[in-house]
Chain A
Amino acid sequence: MKRIRVLFAGNPNTGKSTLINRLSGSRIHVSNWTGTTTQKITAIVNYGDYTLELIDLPGVYDFLPTTLEEEIAIREILNNPPDVIVNVVDASHLERDFHITVELTEMGIPMVVVLNMVDEARSRGRDVDTEALSKRLGVPVVATVARTGEGVDRVLEAIMDSRKPVPVVKYDEDIEEAVSQLSSLIDHPSRRWIAVSMLIYDDLDLFPVNDEIKKRARELKKKFEGRDLLLEVEGKRLSFARELARITYVVRENRQTITHKLDRVLLNPFFGSIIMLLLLIFSFRFAFFLSSPWVDFISTVEEVLAGWLASTGMPSLLLSFLVDGIIAGVGTVISFAPVLFLFYMVISFIEQSGILARAAFLMDTFMGAVGLPGKGFVPLIMGFGCNVPAVYATRTLESPRDRLKVAMMIPFMSCSARLPVLVLFASIFFPKNPVPVVLLLYLLGVIVAFITAFLMDRFIKGGTSFSVFELPPYRIPPLRTIIFHSWMRTLDFLRGAGTVILLAVIIVWFMLNFPEPYSEHSLFGLISRSLTGVFSLIGINDWRLIGSLIPGFIAKEVIIGSLAVSYLGAEPIHALGLLEGLKMIVGGFYQAVIQTFASIPAVFGIPRFQVPVSGGPLGQILSSVLDTPSALAYMVFVLLYTPCVATVAALKQEFGKRWAILSIAYQLTVAFLMSFIIYRLAVMIHG
């Protein structure tokens, strides 16, 4: 079985992954590009006696990188030259897209050009002639609509038929002389492209050549001092790209598209913002209402497993370990999955439909005020749902400094896990107006986030970031791709953060059960009590309140459960028979399905703030242990204190241990400071 390695390269948004999806059916594998968290999609297809490995490179605007994604792409081509490159272009704007094509012709690797989205091109009055282009470049050219599958069957054939392109661009004589001198020293199929690039790009470490060659390149570069070599080279390439487009377009009109018309409304500052806001609300509701029946189901399964274990009559400490340690740990990890999956679906849709770019456009001014690009708005908004996918979403930003800034802001966006805690306390201590109190807390988080960005701007040096981006046409992304990507990203998270969360749960279990279970003499209690001195500054004297913040580090919603256990005692585990348990699981599953469908109308329904009752027995105890100012201080602390373990894991993955730890330390400091200030203010006002 001969193996053929095929890389798919092209501008962003040309439908490369849709094409690969179409070509491979189900044999797709998702991993990460080594040393990064950027998704790498690989597919295996059999064609006759051959096995084709199809690899999707990140979309690039230039092979000389300005972003991490572009760096990944060029390094893959240079360090692992493929057997074939499939260049996917958007048939609607060939003049621009062929720039990459022209660069690829200098890489000396057999190529295929795929003119994708010909349906969209047709609707704007542009028709293509694949024969003419094929003749000029000397490589197979296929026209496709990857979305529907039109023409896709011819792509594999074309790959087998691929040839090295006829060299197309010739630079001025003196440049060609230098290029030829340099490329004769390089042993690599892409020697021409490497030679040209070494003359126009400063970071020579990008190229897989030895120091001798780099030295020679620097010498040759000196001859061109005073000339804008990059512009001369790019000028010729761009000229040629236009020439290729001229050859390929048989008709080239400028009919207005639906996108153009829709943007009149969606990019209007007033209407656009309203529509975006509605979309946002809708997305959040979609993610939460449709996932909570499944989170409930997972709890039911946990309960049943606990019941089965209890019925074996094993020693209570072992039972506790298995139930409150292992099962609870695994359960916590898995219960992230429904929310994340739906959240990722929403984000995937927003990205691929073109809506993300419009939101970035509307928010650019505000984000610019703290030195961030408009795109930075999206991870921040996502943070209100869950901080974890939000941290990963920072990848869409180009500058590493921007990514870090936004990532440090995200944990202050009060995620949905904090909401139950805030709502509980608000309804107990501010029964007349719990909703405004919660909203003000959210606002506080946002303000702190922006102050953080501002401070980082001042104290952390870095290059200036620029913000230029494309607004792609509106498209309805295929459901299959959305589901696939979301599922892969969810699995990614479970793999990455899963062990960390499980470990954290087990550690907390130890702290709660040794040396004396669930009492103030447990490790948990000892640590909590040692902190009462500090916390009394914000009016919190009860060790159980302080202690609950510790499991809150794992997942914020656990705070309520922990408070309940601390004050009301652990709930006994009911032993369950096998049949009884099975009935509960099946029943629970059925319930989850019904509830999911029942929630659909609620997603579209009128916004309704649910005001819960005052919290039952826990509520009564809390109101006796805290007064209003200290309750407020506690709420502020919970709002700001640390990111949850999963977020820390995400931060570590994306930015390294240093920043992950720094964010914890920073947040603890900010949380304490703000709680203190607010406590003092509240005491002054309330007396």
Chain B
Amino acid sequence: MIKQKYEVLKNGLVVVLVKNDELHSFNASLYIKYGSAINRFYSNNVDYKCKDGIAHLLEHVLIDNSPYGNLFKHFTNKYYSLRGTTYREYTKFSIHGYEDFELGIEELIRSINDSGFTKEGIDKSRGPVLEEVREAKNRHGYEYHQHKIYSLFKDDVFLSGTGESEDVKDFTYEDLRLIYNTFYKPSNEILVVDGNFDMDKILKVIEKTYDSIDRVYNTSEVIPYYDDFVPSKDIDTYEDKKDLSVVGISFKIPMTKFTIDEKGHLTHYLDWYLRYNFGRRSEFHKNIIEDKISNYNAITGFSYYPYGLDILKLSIELYTDNVDEFVKRVMDELKVITMPDKKAKELYKRKHFFATLIDLDDSSFLANSFAINYIYTGRYEFASIEDLEKLSFKEMEKLLKRLDFSTYSIVYRKND
């Protein structure tokens, strides 16, 4: 039996509780609405600029320098697991455990919100972070990813998240304190808890813990901003003798004229549209294979960039050297938005219904999807089966046709 609720506390913290009394464990995730892409912002009439990598370093610093010592060690000693991850728009700290849950939640909150990190502590965290930067740079596809992002945004804030070694070495105590004081505050956080626990008791623990933290928060509004860049349509070509040739088209689609509901619905529609029109089961794929453009299926993806940009990035890639032909075919396909026939519509609805049923059975999904939805839309909503009734193929066609594909960049990684 799953019970769910949310509350916004007087300090601004959003608390999401999803109880499933059939489970034997619990999870808690603290989301901070600050991630690797928020490096330029106005606050209190001051224009701040930080380099890529600072959010990620701060994540490490908070884990390494908690009031309980190294937080990984601390929680592992209690047989919990701990994970910290820096995403583009948010940073997340999660624990999973079985015992002493109230204490675990308290310690998580305190570690992240009441950190007394020092200059020495930061220096200690730098070592592993620099190694992580090294690993990231040597990862398969890293350079290609950088070319794609840079050609679309010409802005380092979206590049890697881990940053450049020189910048990581240069971040000062003052830099990190500024970021910490600006963004790590209850009004900028969401705490989600799921599993088997007493909802009222946990809510009291959360309130009491935040109340006991003696910090002065920066309450000024923070407005992230980005450079407005129109990418060139020239193909960015570079050579790589080790990896397969690949062509990637990335579209920068403005979303300012879409409502929040429309943006949310587009997430479902685009998922279907890209799979059915460019994926393995599409005519596009069939023709690519038959005409020997490639032996692979196209890889598609999209993501939303909310703060200060309000754009949707959509990418379509293919392992091929037939650059011009691939680009032409993609553009031709996008000019005419092909909608599913009656049978495909029925099957889509059925599959989506079944997948949603399974998701709604998962308390962790319910809790975390609430948080992600809130981060991107500002809405307080649990996923439900009724969401499906709000979707329609009529709307799908209208919204897809409103997408503006005129701004894009092309990257070609060439293997001779």
A complexed with B: no
The residues of A with any CB-CB pair to B shorter than 8 Å are: none
